[in-house]
Structures are given as C-alpha cells and as structure tokens.
C-alpha cells in the first residue's frame, strides 16, 4: 500500500519527526489526564457458570450473606499443651473480640495444643474496607492477646488480604527491575552510553500509556487481570521491536550517507516482520476472549491492547526520535558508509556449519528438546493455598496450625445450598461421604426456600484429597431427588477453576497454533515452511514447560504448577517464541530473492544473529523479573517463559530453524519461490561463490 510506504518518509524528516513526537506527547497526556485513576474490574477464579459460582450467587439471598469467619488460632511457643491459665486468657480475649462481632466460644483441639476462636466479620466488595477489617482484628489480637501464646489470624478474608498485601509496592519493584534489566542489556547490546536511552524512553512511555488504557478498559468492561504481566509484555515486546529496527538502521547507515534515508529504508525492511510478530501475539491473545476463567479472559483482551500500543510506539514514535538524534546516538561507535561489519562472523560460521550438516544438527537439537521435555514427568497441576506464597504469611501459618491440630476444613468450610424442605436428606447424604467431619445446617434464605449446610472436611483446602472430596460431595447431593442441591465454598471454587483452566487449555491451545500458522503462511507465502516451523515451535514450548517445571521444583520448592500456568506459558511460548522465527525467516526470504536458499539462510543468520539473540535475552530477562513478585504463580510463569525464550533464541533460531531450511532448500518456499528469485541450478550450497563472497 502506497500510504504505508510513505509513513517512514514522513517520520524521518525534521518537521515530521517533531510533529510525531509532539503528537505522541499530546496523546500520552490526554490518556493520563482522562483515563488515569481507573482500576480493572474484579473477577472470580472459577467460570461464571460453574457450580461454585452459582452457589455464591444463591448465598446472596441469605441473611448475612456478606459475612465470613476470621479464625484466631493460638498455640504455645514451646509446643506444649495449653494450660488452664492459657485458656482463661483466651476467654478474656474472646470477650474483647465481641466488639467485632458475635464471637464463637473458644474451641480447644483434641490434643490440647491449640485453640481456635471464630470471629464473623462483614466482608465488603471494597477491598480496602475488608483489609481494614482484617488488619483491625489483627491489631486487636496483638494488643489484647495473652503473652506466651503464638496467635495467627487466618480464614478466607485473611488469605485475600494477605495476597493483596503481598503486592504492596510490588508493581513498582517489578517496573524498576524491568527497566534496570532492559537498560543494562541495551547498553551491552549497543555499547553506547546514549543510544539505549532512546528506545527505553519510547517503550517506557508506551508502558505507561498501555497501563492506563488497559486499566480503563478493565474498569469499563469488568475485566480482571494482572497489570504486572501487561507491563512485562509491553516492555519485552516493545524492546524486541526496537532492537530489530535499530539493528537494521545501523546496517543501512554503513551503506548510506543520508541517515534519514537509511532510517526510512530500515523501517520498510523490518516493519513487515514487526507487524507479523505483533499480529501473532495479539491474535493469539484475543483467543483468550473465549476463555471461561474470568482472569484469563481479561488478560487476553487487555494484553492485546497493550501490545498494540507498543507496536504504535515503536513504528511511529521511535523512528522520529532516531531521526532527530541522527548518527550521534551511536557514539562512540558511529556507523558511516564503508564501516567494516563487526558483527556476524561467528553467526556466519555457525550457520554455515549447520547448513552443511542439517540432519545431524536436527538430531542433536531434537535430543536436547526431548531431554528438557522429560521434566514434565511427574508434574501435576494445582497447588494448595499454603503454597501460593513464596514467603510465609500469617494466614498461611494459621492454616498450617489448623491442619496440624484441628480438622483442616475448619478454615474454609464447604457450603451446600439446597431446598429447605430437603435439608435433613441432604445432611445425611453429606455425612455419608468419606472425610466429612461435620455437616451442620447454617440458616435459610430470606424467603425460606433455600437452606445452607456448612460442611467441615478432614482435608486441607487445595490438596488432592479435598479436590476428590468435592466431586464425591456433588455426586452425593445431586443424587438426592428434588433437593436441587449444589456444592460451593473456596475449595469447590478451586476445583471449578482447575476444570475451567483445563478446558481453556484444550480449546485455546489449538487456536493459538492456528493463528501462528496463519501468520507464517501469509508472511512466507508457502505451505511447507510454516508447517515445519510451527512443529519446531511446539516442540520448543513443550521442552520449556518441562524444563521450567523441573526448575520450579528445585528453585521454588513447589512440586505442582498453578492451574493457570500451563495455558499462559504455552500461549506466551508459542506466540512470543515464534517472533524470532519470524524475524529470521523474513530475512531469509528477502535474501533468497538474490541467492540460493541455503546461501540465504547463512546470510540471514549472520545479519540477524546478534540482534535476535539480544532481543531474546532481553525478553527472557524481563520475564525473569516476575520472580520479584511474591506469588508462586507468577514466579513459575516467569521462569518457564524465560527459559523458553532462551531456548527459542539460542537453540531453535540458531540451530534448528537454519538446519530445517538447509535440509529443505528450495522446497522451503513450495509452492511458490520468493519474488525476484534467481534460479541458480547447482549453486544451492553454502560452499558456492554466492555464499563465500564478501558481504
């Protein structure tokens, strides 16, 4: 399209560059001014139509529907039995706690080493109010609690507050760590004290704009997502796009005296690859719109918008900034026409060796990927609440005490809602299920039509036994004719979340592959190449998840993956990992218009090796930054994607993809060869004069 080709000509002129920067500044100011202060909506962990979600809606019809219990757990510091004096002190604390609500009498464990006080509190839809309630109770317990006893406040509301509190300052920490990682890697890549500031400033502004826009979108549409992941994606992808553009710009500066013409040419050469890369990730993320898990659905829409902002910043704002900076931005290694090409010798040597023996390279690479994939053996999905935090929280510590001295289900009872006329039959059915310690009627709805039954389990929430018990309870109460009984509660939410995430993985993963394959098909305009490249990418993703799972067990001490990790890791690994394949094969196709395919892949690897490797290291480092956050889920995701990006960059792109292209030769472009192809019969060999000549 003629208008698209004229964009760089407008951006690189002095007047056009200043106009582009002024427009970008005005747009950013408008975004921050009109959309600032918005917050994403809240979403449940389970699907909207899940049984636990339906129970939560039915519970709104009961008096005190906004009440939940906080649990004050007490033990002696010396692990001895509680003394009569200790119990008397706890009863005095019970009296003090009545200022909060109708406190239940002190319960003493069967081994007499722990005691429990249940405190009903009102849980607000405003997270700040709920946090104030929990913090107020904890302050009261610390002030009035008897000396010599270890006291913890746990329960569902306390867990929610501790998760939120664990992120206090974490987003700022993540941003600072991300900026530091990107800055260091850009300095190492460009070896310039000046140039790195240009892309970092542009991508940083894009991150700020994307964060504000996605927060406003989340607030308007009721989307729930993790803003930290959005920031990581914008910084990682935006920096990758910038590296590709600047690398080609530097290459053009070595052959052109006019830096503006060099920049315009570089823009035209790399824009299709950048757009294809962005389209792959954005379209893959939009498939999450059909996810049944609210947080996954919200992440897909918001992350896609964030990456479009990053694309606009790199293609429309970064060229303007580079045009104004000129060659001076590369100081002290300023490229001028006739400058010797310092990069590419190592990559050219590696690529030539790979293309000479492609079958051997593919075999070695396949063995390496298979070895990493074995990390999936023994990997399970689903972690319990105590494992969600990377550091010990008060609620997790209290839950551990409950599991040791009481029925673990005391912390978060299951809830059965049924017709009130069938309460007795439902209670009898519940009591017949293995692992149920107690089933107690807990009130009726305002119209008297429904009854609530509280179920105390012998199993800790989130454990395999508790997951199995939820299914058994549902089978039991569903079998009560006419009762219309449903099972809910936090453990049931966890079960439904696991099922929902499993469904999303089975439905969305094939769509992500289809999107990636379609983009490769359009970019390469061939059939054979996209199929093989996509197969390699899938193998690489499986290897990364396997290796990341093994490292998670060793480094994080968690045997299982959280329920959302497999889907998100697969999506990011396929969509982001294929970026580097796109960057490489786009250059191969361009080089193949003038030389044989095997020669073209050597030239392409030599030209792109440094920039693609730098981009991969940057993206891996940015995802590794998720490790500063306190939740195991994000730590696992950052670890797996970081490992996967390095595998894609250093193994797949450097060895396997060139080997495949070398093995296929001209068949890579079947059924149509690149436009302008010079058919060189018998010269499709890296030892030919075309490949060996000085470039």
* CATH code assigned at 418: 3.30.70
Helices 657-664 + 565-591 axis angle, to 10: 50
Burial 84-109 (b: 16+ CB within 10 A, else e): eebbebbeebbeebeebbebeebebb
Which DSSP state fits 145? S
The Cα 193–Cα 197 span in angstroms is: 8
**Same domain (yes/no): 134, 253:** no
End of a domain among 165, 196, 221?
Answer: 165
Residue 606, in any domain of the structure: yes
- pLDDT at residue number 337: 84
As a whole number, mean pLDDT of residues 410-436 equals 91
Per the structure, the count of domains in the chain is 4
pLDDT tens across 458-517, in order? 887 777 888 899 999 999 999 999 999 999 988 899 899 999 999 999 999 999 999 888
Give the pLDDT confidence score for residue 620 in this predicted structure.
86
Mean pLDDT calculated for residue range 445-454: 91
- Position 30 in a domain: no
pLDDT for 67:
76
Q: Could you give the C-alpha distances from 590 to 253, 532, 612, in angstroms and in order? A: 19, 19, 17
CATH number of residue 503's parent domain? 1.20.1640.10
Q: Which structural domain, as residue segments, surrounds residue 250?
A: 167-337
On average, the pLDDT of the chain sits at 84
**Domain final residue, candidates 488, 507, 531:** 488
Asked whether residue 509 is assigned to any structural domain, the reply reads yes
Within a domain: 186: yes
Judgement on whether residues 568 and 675 belong to the same structural domain of the protein? yes
pLDDT in tens, 628-649: 777 788 888 889 999 998 998 8
Q: Is residue 597 part of a domain?
A: yes
**Would you say residue 160 has pLDDT above 90?**
no
| Mean pLDDT of all residues in 610-632 | 81
374 and 426 within one domain: no
Q: Is a pLDDT exceeding 80 seen at residue 56?
A: yes
Same domain, 182 and 95: no
Residue 641 and residue 680 in one domain:
yes
pLDDT of residue 267: 94
Q: What is the percentage of the chain residues whose pLDDT exceeds 90?
A: 30
Q: Confidence band (pLDDT; 50, 70, 90) for 683?
A: very low
Mean of the pLDDT values across residues 6-34?
91
Q: Within this chain, do residues 105 and 159 fall inside the same structural domain, yes or no? A: yes
Per-residue pLDDT averaged across 73-90, rounded? 87
**Whole-angstrom distance, CA of residue 627 vs CA of residue 170:** 11
642 and 520 both lie in a single domain? yes
**Omega of the bond leading into 332 within 30 degrees of 0 (cis):** yes
> What is this structure's pTM?
0.80
Task: Verify that 160 and 245 share a domain, yes or no.
Answer: no
Q: If you search the block for the tokens 């090409």, which residue do you land on?
A: 341
Crossing angle (nearest 10°) for helices 84-97 and 127-144:
140
Do 244 and 616 form a contact (C-beta atoms < 8 A)?
Answer: no
Choose the final residue of a domain: 488, 513, 537: 488
Same domain, 203 and 95: no
High-pLDDT (> 70) share of the chain, %:
91
Burial of 74 (0-12, 13-18, 19+ CB in 10 A): buried
Same domain, 373 and 515: yes
Q: Is residue 531 part of a domain?
A: yes
Residues in the chain: 695
Average pLDDT on 121-143 reads 81
How distant is the alpha carbon of residue 70 from its chain centre?
31
Higher pLDDT, 501 or 394: 501
Which stretch, 31-35, 97-101, 682-686, has highest mean pLDDT? 31-35
Q: Residue 399: inside a domain, yes or no?
A: no
Task: Give pLDDT, residue 261.
Answer: 93
pLDDT exceeds cutoff 80 at 255: yes
Distances (CA, A) of 589 to 596, 680, 685: 10, 15, 16
State yes or no: pLDDT of 168 exceeds 70. Answer: no
What is 394-460 written as a DSSP string?
A: HHHHHHHHHHHHS-GGGSS-EEEEEEGGGHHHHHHHHHTSTTEEEEEEEEE-TTSSEEEEEEEESS-
In a domain, 40, yes or no: no
**Both 511 and 588 in a single domain?**
yes
Do 382 and 240 belong to one domain?
no
Average pLDDT for residues 5-15, to the nearest whole number? 85
């Amino acid at each position: 399209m003629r208008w698209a080709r004229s964009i760089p000509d407008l951006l690189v002129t002095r007047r056009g560059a200043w106009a582009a920067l002024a427009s970008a500044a005005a747009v950013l100011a408008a975004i921050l001014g009109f959309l600032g202060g918005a917050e994403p909506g809240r979403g449940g962990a389970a699907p909207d139509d899940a049984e636990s979600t339906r129970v939560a809606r039915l519970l709104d019809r009961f008096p005190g529907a906004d009440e939940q219990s906080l649990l004050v757990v007490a033990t002696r510091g010396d692990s001895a039995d509680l003394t009569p004096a200790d119990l008397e002190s706890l009863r005095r604390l019970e009296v003090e706690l009545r200022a909060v609500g109708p406190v239940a009498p002190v319960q003493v464990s069967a081994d007499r080493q722990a005691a429990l006080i249940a405190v009903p509190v009102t849980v607000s839809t405003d997270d700040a109010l709920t946090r104030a309630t929990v913090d107020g109770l904890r302050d009261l317990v610390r002030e009035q609690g008897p000396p010599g006893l270890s006291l913890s406040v746990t329960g569902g509301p306390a867990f929610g507050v501790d998760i939120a509190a664990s992120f206090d300052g974490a987003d700022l920490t993540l941003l600072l760590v991300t900026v530091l990682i990107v800055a260091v890697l850009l300095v190492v890549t460009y070896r310039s004290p000046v140039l790195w500031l240009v892309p970092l400033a542009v991508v940083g502004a894009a991150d700020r704009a994307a964060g504000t826009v996605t927060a406003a979108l989340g607030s308007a549409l009721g989307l729930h997502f993790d803003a930290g992941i959005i920031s990581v994606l914008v910084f990682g992808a935006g920096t990758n796009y910038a590296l590709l553009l600047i690398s080609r710009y530097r290459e053009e500066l070595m052959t052109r005296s006019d830096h503006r013409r060099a920049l315009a040419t570089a823009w035209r050469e790399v824009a299709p690859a950048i757009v294809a890369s962005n389209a792959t990730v954005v379209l893959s993320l939009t498939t999450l719109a059909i996810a049944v898990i609210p947080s996954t659905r919200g992440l897909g829409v918001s992350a896609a918008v964030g990456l479009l902002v990053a694309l606009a910043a790199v293609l429309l704002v970064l060229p303007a900034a580079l045009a104004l900076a000129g060659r001076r931005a590369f100081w002290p290694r300023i490229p001028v026409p006739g400058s010797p090409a310092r990069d590419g010798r190592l990559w050219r040597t590696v690529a030539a060796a790979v293309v000479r023996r492609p079958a051997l390279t593919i075999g070695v690479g396949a063995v390496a990927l298979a070895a990493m994939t074995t990390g999936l053996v023994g990997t399970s999905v689903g972690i319990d609440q105590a494992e969600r935090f990377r550091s010990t929280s008060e609620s997790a510590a209290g839950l551990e005490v409950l599991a040791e001295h009481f029925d673990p289900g005391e912390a978060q009872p299951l809830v059965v809602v049924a017709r009130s006329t069938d309460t007795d039959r439902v209670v009898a059915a519940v009591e017949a299920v293995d692992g149920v310690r107690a089933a107690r009627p807990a009130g009726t709805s305002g119209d008297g039509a429904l009854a609530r039954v509280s179920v105390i389990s012998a199993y800790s929430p989130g454990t395999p036994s508790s997951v199995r018990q939820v299914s058994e309870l549902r089978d039991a109460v569903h079998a009560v004719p006419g009762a219309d009984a449903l099972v809910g509660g936090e453990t049931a939410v966890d079960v439904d979340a696991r099922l929902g995430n499993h469904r999303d993985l089975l439905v969305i993963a094939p769509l992500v592959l289809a999107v990636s394959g379609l983009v490769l098909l359009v970019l390469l305009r061939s059939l054979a190449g996209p199929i093989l490249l996509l197969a390699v990418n899938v193998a690489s993703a499986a290897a990364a998840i396997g290796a990341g799972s093994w490292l998670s067990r060793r480094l994080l001490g968690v045997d299982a993956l959280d329920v959302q990790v497999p889907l998100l890791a697969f999506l990011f690994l396929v969509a982001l990992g294929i970026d580097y394949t796109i960057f490489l094969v786009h250059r191969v196709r361009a080089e193949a218009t003038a030389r044989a395919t095997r020669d073209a892949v050597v030239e392409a690897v030599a030209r792109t090796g440094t920039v693609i490797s730098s981009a991969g290291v940057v993206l891996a480092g940015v995802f590794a930054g998720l490790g500063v956050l306190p939740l195991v889920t994000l730590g696992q995701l950052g670890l797996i994607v970081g490992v996967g990006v390095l595998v894609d960059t250093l193994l797949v792109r450097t060895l396997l993809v060139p080997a495949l292209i070398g093995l296929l030769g001209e068949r890579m472009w079947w059924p149509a060869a690149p436009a302008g192809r010079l058919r060189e019969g018998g010269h499709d060999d890296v030892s030919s004069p075309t490949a060996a000549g000085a470039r």
